[in-house]
Amino acid sequence: MISWRRFRAVFTARNKEFLRDRGAMGWNLLFPLLVVFGLSFAFSGKGQDVFKVGVLGRAADLPGTFAATKYLDFVPYADRDLAMSRLRHHELDLLVEPGVPLKYWLNDSSPKGYLVERVMLGTVPARPAPARGVVTGRAIRYVDWLIAGLLGMNMMFSALFGVGYAIVRYRKNGVLKRLKATPLSAFEFLAAQVVSRMVLVMAVFAVVYHGADFFLHFVRRGSLLDLYLIFTLGAACLVSLGLLIAARVTSEELAGGLLNLISWPMMFLSGVWFSLAGAPRPLRLAAQLLPLTHVIDAARAVMTDGATLSQVSGHLWALAGMTALFLALGARLFRWE
């Protein structure tokens, strides 16, 4: 049976250790804020000179002259609702559906959409006339799109290194060996480590998100409570992954290498900095195996699309399953020495 007294003692000690490490605490708080404000300033001007055109089907089925137009990036979509959502938020400049007649939609408040429409009408046959559709929606700034990925990335590094690296350090320094001689059980120790890191991660999340939102006024169409629940489940999953990595490792150098081996692919393949909508299918499938992908996709759906928890339930079930798997394997493989 778990002793809440021993659990509380380890939980309190771990929190104090983090709070007394001013360097680590300052880095966790200041780094994401600096990146948010820096990128907000850097991308507040003109965008890239490449126009994005969504295609409901295959780009090869579009009229050849239009498909060969320079500076147009054709992105295929199988989900019409997703493509329409991207168009409403100015993530796409035009949406077309090959056929006879050709169908297309544009956002009536998008200057780039107007220009792409002019280009398209000048390169496709006039007969039969293309069918035109119009949607409306507010533009999503890059910083509005970025914030979910940045919060997820900061959470990932804090969870993985905060648990994985710390436990390996305890094992190398003999702390775990001394704790083994106490009545403290492995379950109590691991549970305290996981809960402590989750509390600290979510506290940093709250400070960073609301602190940046005070100045930048992020777009958030969904529930704030839903956003917190998504990141809480994401924190549990990432902390469990860090626990699994540290279950047997005795070298800080090896632990750092393994943690970097896992964290860097997640940072680039989970959509932190850019969308994988136009990426090759195998790459997108590989990204679905990474917990950070599900955290960021679910958070962005809530913030920019106003999605509910039921609408992102697939991501939540994936995170819950990964958390259970990582915890079970970590507890099974854990060794004090």
34 and 116 both lie in a single domain: no
Between strands 72-77 and 94-97, the pairing is unpaired
Q: What is the pLDDT along the chain (337 residues), one digit of tens a residue?
A: 567 777 777 778 767 766 666 655 665 666 666 666 665 655 555 445 578 898 998 888 888 788 888 888 888 888 888 888 888 877 788 999 988 888 999 988 788 888 888 888 888 887 888 889 988 776 667 777 788 888 888 888 888 887 777 787 778 777 777 877 787 777 777 778 788 888 888 888 888 888 888 877 887 888 999 999 999 999 999 988 888 888 777 777 777 788 888 888 888 888 887 777 667 778 888 888 999 999 999 998 898 878 889 989 999 999 999 999 988 888 788 777 7
CATH of the domain at 61: 3.40.190
Considering 96, 114, 135, which residue would you say is the last residue of a domain?
135
> How many independent structural domains does the chain possess?
2
Token digits of residue 276: 């994988």
Q: Kindly give, in sequence order, each residue whose CB lies less than 8 Å from that of residue 46, ignoring residues fewer than 6 positions away.
A: none
Token digits of residue 73: 């990036």
Residues in the chain: 337
Considering 96, 111, 135, which residue would you say is the last residue of a domain?
135
Asked, as a colleague might, if the bond just before 130 is cis with ω within 30 of 0, I would say no
Q: How far apart are CA 180 and CA 328, in angstroms?
A: 20
Whole-structure pTM value: 0.70
Nearest to 78 by CA among 46, 102, 100, 54: 54
Domain that holds residue 38: 4-42+141-333
**Would the CA dihedral through 307, 308, 312, 318 be positive or negative?**
positive
131 and 149 both lie in a single domain: no
Considering 89, 117, 135, which residue would you say is the last residue of a domain?
135
